[in-house]
């Protein structure tokens, strides 16, 4: 049984919970979900989902409630698996830039060796769907390489620099739009808005590791 906390301030929380239930059926890994708004909701958790939304707002709320600190401990000291989508991916990055304004200085978890550029696709392409080419550096989800993933991008960021332990996991054109570091998975797009459970299956398998 894997216990997954969904940070529940904003974004597709219910959609992620639904995808986790489906991924549980697909993999046979039992899952229990909990909506997290306060640090005590993160007790005994094996995995965390950071949904999309507005990363500055979510980061500020996480800092104010103490969720930020507890999440960092869970990820860095206890090895919890993490799936961050869109704003959630921004919150994982050690370096956050805005396409227009440069360094944002916003509160983030800063657990992943990546630079994220917010609103990377700008105003012309605020939201779009595109096929993302995925690879599986984890060895846990070979099905990621079988066919491309239909990514839903909404004011999406991109990973503009990776170093250290971060590895690219998905590309769109020449841009990195998915990355993995140990048990941390960061996606510029929204898998919870599709019917493809492959990336949620990966989270469950990472949590079991
Ligand atoms: N542009 C938003 C941010 O950087 C993310 C958008 C989203 O999560 N769909 O916070």
Q: What is the CATH number of the domain that holds 145?
A: 3.40.50.880
Q: Output the CA 4–ligand 1 centroid distance in Å.
A: 22
- Tally the domains of the chain: 1
Catalytic residue of the set 16, 115, 192, 200: 192
Is 73 marked active-site?
no
In this predicted structure, what is the pLDDT of residue 122? Answer: 87
Q: Which of 50, 90, 107 to mutate to test the pocket of ligand 1 (most atoms within 8 A of CB)?
A: 90
Full domain range(s) for residue 142? 2-208
Is 40 marked active-site?
no
Is 86 marked active-site?
yes
Coil vs helix vs strand at 15: helix
pLDDT along the chain (209 residues), means of 10: 97 98 98 98 97 97 98 98 98 94 93 97 87 98 98 97 98 97 98 98 96
Strand-pair category, 102-103 with 93-98: antiparallel
CA–CA distance, 182 with 189 (Å, rounded to integer) = 20
> 39: which 2 tokens?
């640090």
CA–CA distance, 206 with 209 (Å, rounded to integer) = 5
Q: Which of 7, 53, 59 to mutate to test the pocket of ligand 1 (most atoms within 8 A of CB)?
A: 53
**Chain centroid to CA 189: how far?**
9
> 203: which 2 tokens?
């989270």
Distances (CA, A) of 205 to 12, 13, 46, 86: 21, 20, 11, 21
In this predicted structure, what is the pLDDT of residue 179? Answer: 98
Cα dihedral across residues 6, 159, 113, 202: positive or negative: positive
List, chain by chain if needed, residues with CB within 6 Å of any ligand 1 atom: 52-55, 86-87, 90, 118-119, 154-155, 157
């Amino acid at each position: 049984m894997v216990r997954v906390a969904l940070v529940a301030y904003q974004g597709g929380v219910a959609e992620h919970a639904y995808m986790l239930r489906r991924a549980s059926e697909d993999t046979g890994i039992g899952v229990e979900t909990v909506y997290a708004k306060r640090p005590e909701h993160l007790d005994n958790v094996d995995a965390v989902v950071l949904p999309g939304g507005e990363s500055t707002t979510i980061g500020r709320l996480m800092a104010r409630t103490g969720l930020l600190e507890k999440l960092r401990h869970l990820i860095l000291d206890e090895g919890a698996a993490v799936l961050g989508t869109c704003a959630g991916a921004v919150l994982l990055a050690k370096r956050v830039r805005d396409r227009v304004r440069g360094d944002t200085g916003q509160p983030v978890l800063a657990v992943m060796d990546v630079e994220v550029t917010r609103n990377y696709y700008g105003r012309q392409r605020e939201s779009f769907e595109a096929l993302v080419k995925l690879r599986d550096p984890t060895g846990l989800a070979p099905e990621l390489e079988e066919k491309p993933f239909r990514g839903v991008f909404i004011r999406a960021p991109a990973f503009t620099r990776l170093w250290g332990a971060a590895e690219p996991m998905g590309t769109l054109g020449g841009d990195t739009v998915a990355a993995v570091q140990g048990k941390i998975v960061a996606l510029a797009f929204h898998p919870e808005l599709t019917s493809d459970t492959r990336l949620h299956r990966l989270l469950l398998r990472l949590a079991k590791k």
